[in-house]
Chain A
Amino acid sequence: MKIGLEIHVQLPTRSKMFCSCPAVGAAGPNEHICPGCMGMPGTKPSLNKEAVVIGIKIARLLNCSVPDTMWFNRKIYFYPDLCRHYQITQYETPIAQKGVYYLGKKPIRITEAHLEEDPGTVTRSGDGSLTDYNRSGMPLIEIVTEPDLSTPAEAREFLTALLRDIRHVIDLPDDGERTIRADCNISMAGSERCEVKNVNGLKNVERALTYEAVRQTKILKAGGKIARETRHYDAERMVTTSARKKEYAGDYAYVCDPVFGKVDVKSIMDGIEHKESPKNMVARLVSEYSIDVRIAEQIVNTSVGLAELFEHLAKNVVADMALKWVTGPISSSWKALEKDVVARTADITDIVIRQRDGEINDVECAMLLKALITGKDVDAVRKGGADLDALIRKAIEENPSVADDHKKNDKAMNRIIGIVMRESGGAYSSSDVVDAAKRILDGL
């Protein structure tokens, strides 16, 4: 089975791609429109620089080459939602060309990614249609992969990883205003491919592809043939259906768009700071600090901010020591720290350095970090720690078999943890309780 995806991602610009209308936040239909994005006669598009900047960042993420100079094309498409009945897109000079994205160790080749404008949104209504052009002219990037994905689950896994990386690299807010859509191409060995158009969201991509895989397999088993066609995904019924055969399919006209000239991509690219993708960060942490890949993944997946704190500490003390504190007390209180980690990095570093220099011991260091992060004073932390210890010891006394079981089976302490959590009424975080219970049981 071969699967290739064409992924449409709306870019987080503040204004539209070819006019100054706000990109998001319209209160009702047709509020963020102007003569430009309504295709009124005589208007000329003018390109939003930020769309190019974001395009370059995505190209880098996909390990694609970026042309020094690019331009746009016009693609004819008669449909009520497209205000000029041609879409401004890219044909000869996509902003991202020939790249590769690694899903684990598997390379997924990227054919290209190009910038284009979104049309409005059209809905059926009575005997006609109704269109809202607020979305008309929103910047999109369309990422096209080679058919390198082998299963619907893998396609979803790929999309999940890719979107996480994209969100990070271009600061794409997860506010629901900007959507992800994909066209999914799928074919069985030696057979024609079908394209399922306009599938919204990750879950639906997997569902649509699974449905198609099953449908195509059934046809082939029955001795039938797969017709090359475009299909739609019906998200409510969770089935794909054949799209009406397009009389004009393949007859698109691509004319170079001369209205805003060429784009000097090189000079824009030279001025951009590139943000590392989470995946590339994991690889770098592993090689730079000789840490285990799973631990690196765990840190980065918790948060890129946590990984940055680790790097800062590793540079000030040593990697092993930094790792101990980052994966220990810091990560167990990460939620409390996340928002202002940058502001507190210096204080955290001081505490860790004092421990390295022997001014404080491990227990004190853990307590000081905890106090700093949670904003409680040290005595309260100490007392809280003491109270927690007392609770755990009491629970062990009341369930003496646990101490023995713990030596054979890690899960035995879950009983103790459960009791303490219940009795303390959630006063301690589960990770604190786990750490303390483990410490006490190990020491018995």
Chain B
Amino acid sequence: MNNSLINQTFKITKNENRPALLTYTVAGDYTKKKSLEILKSISKYADICELGFPHNTPIADGGQIQTSAYRAIKNGIKINDVFSIVNQFKKLKKNKPIILMGYYNMIYQFNENKFIKKCQQSKVDGLIVVDLPFPENKKFAMKCKKKNINFIQLISPTTSDKRLKQIIKSSHDMIYYISMLSTTGGKLKVSPKKILREYSKIKKQNGSKNVVIGFGITEKTINSLKKADGLVVGSEICKEITNSIKKRQNAVTNVTNVVKRLKNKIK
């Protein structure tokens, strides 16, 4: 998938000598319309947008993303709405990569093949399935590849060396390194130096893979990890939506400002 939009994006950011900024928001948070507005607005600063399809039993997500997911579900988001958000977004920004992220049960209920087909139709660039690890994901990853959709593997500090090699070998254009033992939104409890050391282990195996780091990345910590190919910020953005609603402020503006500040820190 050399020509993938994801690869092209990393080429650009590498030329600019900076990491790619990846944002994570939940589709339908806090309404279908608003989540599209937020996505459009933050994509001015974000290089790649991850969009979560919300599940009500998210076993790897911390409080902030859980709150966003419950809010979106309560406001009636359905899988087909998620695809329609992507579709509308892509019509305006066809060169901005979109990665869908979620839990396997929703894909399973929707039907794997149908799900991938829908991804293709709405021009989804990549997929992250939190609870479908290697090697269980082999078949599904293959199906994605056939349709030119990047299946993005995760690697964590607990991943053994043997698994690391296997995962990298079976990965597509991008790999997601989980910075620490935590759910999303945890406080960064490992030193950036140590995280980057683990990160280099992956890069050494195969330098051509784009490796992003996520979990615990905030305005405070993002600068210390900017050697990475890309950095993912999720919970901090979801938190900003929650706070804006509480304060009855414009979430679109507030969230955009957060993303803008994040971008400035890694330029």
A pairs with B: no
